Amino acid sequence: MAVDIKMTPPSAGEDKAWMTIDGRQVPVEGERNILEVARKAGIDIPNFCYHSELSVYGACRLCLVEVEGRGVVASCSTAPEAGMVVHTNTQRIRRLRRLTLELILADHDRECTTCVKSGACRLQELANRFGLDRVRFGERDGREPVDTSSPSLVRDPNKCILCGDCVRMCSEVQGIGAIEFAYRGSETAVVPAFDKGLGDVDCVNCGQCVQVCPTGALTVRSETERVWEAIHDPDTTVVVQMAPAVRVALGEAFGLDPGTQAAGKVVAALKSLGVDRVFDTTFAADLTAWEETHEFLRRRKEGGPLPLFTSCCPAWVRYCEQYHADLLKNLSTCRSPQQMMGSVLKRYWAPRQGLEPDRVFVVSLMPCTAKKFEAARPEFVREGCPDVDCVITTGEAAAMIREAGIDLESIPEEPFDNPLGMGSGAAVIFGTTGGVAEAVVRTVAGIVHGQDAPRVDFTPVRGHRGLKEATVDLSGGDGKGESGDRVRVAVVHGLARAGELVRAVKEGRVDYDLVEVMACPGGCVGGGGQPVGPGETRAARSRGLYRIDRRSQLHRPQDNPHIARLYREWLGEVGSHMAHEALHTRYHPHRRIEGVRATASTPAAAGAAAAGAEGDAFAAAKVPGEPLEVSVCVGTGCYLRGSHHVLRVFNRLLDERGLRDRVNLSATFCLEKCDRGVSVKVGDRLITGVGPDTAAEVFEREVSGRAAGPVETPGRRQG
């Protein structure tokens, strides 16, 4: 069929190319593929594996279309061309799509009524859309165990459809690759490294894999039952703190537009559930900005270490601990707002209410799955009592509200409880990328210029660009004053971009004073616990936070009278012993993947099996009664330099010297000294440049004497 191509001159003065989709002419305006052009024309081509923010994968084959002269092609991986004629809904295409869906369902756990994603599952939606009322093929032969090792996420391989969305998100956007394809053919599966649990690999708990998973293969680990139990316990006072980003997203689960301010309705709903108090995490965000600003100014005065990296995002902190331990000294010692609020509630608020801290159940309502991991960190547990007892996400809170039969849209609004229910506009924008940096800038302006300081809207760090840079003139001038007055700020979101920025800082290619990092795209508005939404949804949530900021009478953290009261009644001055104990912490290097024990019988196998194992380059010194920890790196660089031979020598000498019970020998990855030969970690000592010819000498000098001699006194782990 011949088609006339109409060329309509646009306002820019250049001709547009046109193509025909289902009989309609549609302009081609820079779209990457046919699927994007069809979406622009209002045609929804079904797919599982296509996301505009990820690479084109083309695995699911649902987006097939017919192109005249070419036949059936995948619309996600076929570039649009002028004159192309596309049919998206032919009889042949419909038959192929239904067959594809049936094949997916044949290998899928079809217990939909008990699935967390029921009602929001893309596979369920498409099965209904194409009228699949039966599957002609049999069900899967057996069930794989469900992975519950992560404190934040649950992985159910029985519901995985091999779309690869989680793999690409973790690798491309987050730069981690904690989950990947393994095996071949019908055995292909998506698994963490070495088929370990998510909690045993270098997952940072960000939950972005949950955001892109179309089925229930990856979901948030629910803690709603713990909250219900606390609510129904008459001897427990249940206190909820709500993060800024939740108020502009939770309403989406009840039909409200993204970005709609719903804080008052959420507070009312939580009170209806039986919660005793609802406080605003923006109070703690003001506290964080105040403490972090003074930390930054002190570092500038004392000469570093700079740049100061923010520490509000627990996924970023975990990433830094695992991949850039040498930069932990640059990480702010400030706790995140969640943990500051938990500390204030347990140590300040509870005693003043005549309550025992262990009878106050603090629930954090967060947009972030990594907050679950953060709340369980030992740094935030005092005498067996955690500062935050439980973390629920935006989605979990919505589920609880629905379960209670509450109509969020019609419920009358209620205010937060005071004195911990008030925050400034600067605290509200913590929920979007750039918000923490802007809050610090506003705080600095208030310190420099006093109460008469004008309103500061630091727009250069706003928006969802991957990297934003700006310079602030602390003198209040035009930004061209003395170098000592200028502060160079960088804002980055997404851990892959953060990794690139960190490498640039280390190599001296960039020079900043303050760097804000958020793991999730868009910041907390795009957290792993938020309702699933594309980039425009995240942008709408950010705009909602900025609207709240514009309407707030409190512009800077120091404008919050309850912050001043907290220092006056409890903390004393900034930098006091109490402030440091209650509001600050220290982070330490952590292993990436749990190590694999190397045994005498399988030295070579241990090296091969652990090629992605533990990467703790800061192992603790030998402690009384415990074996000496010895790790041999089997990362690619070390393996090629003979680390498997080193392991074999060490294993032989352990048996010959009778030290098997006094030494824990493991293969590990990675000790991050790949340019210096095989790396070996003995207790707290790193030895580099070891080779097959020197392995025996190193063993006698570094291992044999320490393992057979007097037991060392344990030392504090150094970062």
- CATH number (domain holding residue 641): 3.40.30.10
pLDDT of residue 390 exceeding 50: yes
Dig out the tokens for 245 from the structure.
Answer: 């980003």
Q: Given 117, 265, 371, 681, which residue is catalytic?
A: 371
Active site residue 371: yes
Residue type, 351: P
Are residues 192 and 133 both part of a single domain? yes
What integer pLDDT is reported at residue 627 of this predicted model? 83
Q: Given 332, 364, 552, 643, which residue is catalytic?
A: 332
CB 101 within 8 A of CB 92: no
Average pLDDT for residues 489-509, to the nearest whole number? 95
Strands 189-192 and 179-182: antiparallel
Active site residue 206: no
Q: What is the pTM of this model?
A: 0.81
What integer pLDDT is reported at residue 6 of this predicted model? 39
Most confidently modeled range among 52-66, 545-559, 704-718: 545-559
Active site residue 292: yes
Which of 186, 220, 254 corresponds to the end of one domain? Answer: 220
For residues 74 and 57, give the distance between their C-alpha atoms in angstroms, rounded to a whole number. Answer: 10
In a domain, 133, yes or no: yes
Which of 89, 115, 137 corresponds to the end of one domain? Answer: 89
**Residues near 237 by Cβ (< 8 Å), separated by ≥ 6?**
276, 277, 350, 353, 355, 359, 360, 361
Overall number of domains in the chain: 4
Are residues 211 and 110 both part of a single domain? yes
In a domain, 718, yes or no: no
CB 549 within 8 A of CB 248: no
Of 23 and 627, the one with more pLDDT = 23
Give the CATH number for residue 30.
3.10.20.740
Strands 64-67 and 71-74: antiparallel
Of 249 and 674, the one with more pLDDT = 249
Q: 3-class DSSP state for residue 242?
A: strand
Residues paired with residue 392 on neighbouring β-strands, in sequence order: 365
Q: Determine the longest span between alpha carbons in the chain, in angstroms.
A: 90
**Residues near 133 by Cβ (< 8 Å), separated by ≥ 6?**
none
Residue type, 494: G
pLDDT of residue 610 exceeding 70: no
pLDDT band at 589 (very low <50, low <70, confident <90, very high): confident
What integer pLDDT is reported at residue 472 of this predicted model? 87
Are residues 324 and 444 both part of a single domain? yes
What integer pLDDT is reported at residue 672 of this predicted model? 62
Q: Given 321, 374, 438, 614, which residue is catalytic?
A: 374
Average pLDDT for residues 58-70, to the nearest whole number? 91
What integer pLDDT is reported at residue 600 of this predicted model? 37
pLDDT of residue 292 exceeding 90: yes
What integer pLDDT is reported at residue 479 of this predicted model? 47
pLDDT of residue 262 exceeding 80: yes
Q: 3-class DSSP state for residue 3?
A: coil
Q: Given 203, 312, 633, 670, which residue is catalytic?
A: 312
In a domain, 717, yes or no: no
Active site residue 569: no
Are residues 378 and 487 both part of a single domain? yes
Q: Given 252, 291, 295, 321, which residue is catalytic?
A: 295
Q: Given 213, 524, 633, 670, which residue is catalytic?
A: 524
- Residue closest to 542 by CA, chosen among 520, 519, 524: 524
Are residues 55 and 182 both part of a single domain? no
Are residues 232 and 213 both part of a single domain? no
In a domain, 11, yes or no: no
pLDDT of residue 478 exceeding 70: no
Active site residue 295: yes
Q: At what angle do helices 394-403 and 224-231 cross, to 10 degrees?
A: 50
Dig out the tokens for 155 from the structure.
Answer: 């992985």
Q: Given 379, 403, 409, 697, which residue is catalytic?
A: 379
CA dihedral 125, 127, 130, 135 (to 10 degrees): -170
pLDDT of residue 659 exceeding 70: yes
Residue type, 142: G
pLDDT band at 588 (very low <50, low <70, confident <90, very high): confident
For residues 565 and 587, give the distance between their C-alpha atoms in angstroms, rounded to a whole number. Answer: 29
Domain containing 622 equals: 596-708
pLDDT of residue 661 exceeding 80: yes
Are residues 157 and 289 both part of a single domain? no
Q: Given 223, 252, 291, 292, which residue is catalytic?
A: 292
What integer pLDDT is reported at residue 88 of this predicted model? 95
pLDDT of residue 634 exceeding 90: no
Are residues 464 and 563 both part of a single domain? yes
List, in sequence order, the alpha helices (H) in 80-175.
91-106, 122-129, 165-168
Are residues 494 and 538 both part of a single domain? yes
Q: At what angle do helices 495-506 and 314-323 cross, to 10 degrees?
A: 50
Active site residue 524: yes
What integer pLDDT is reported at residue 269 of this predicted model? 97
| First-last CA distance in the chain | 70
pLDDT digits (tens, 9 = 90+) for 103-136: 999 889 888 888 999 889 999 999 999 999 888 8
pLDDT digits (tens, 9 = 90+) for 297-309: 999 999 889 999 9
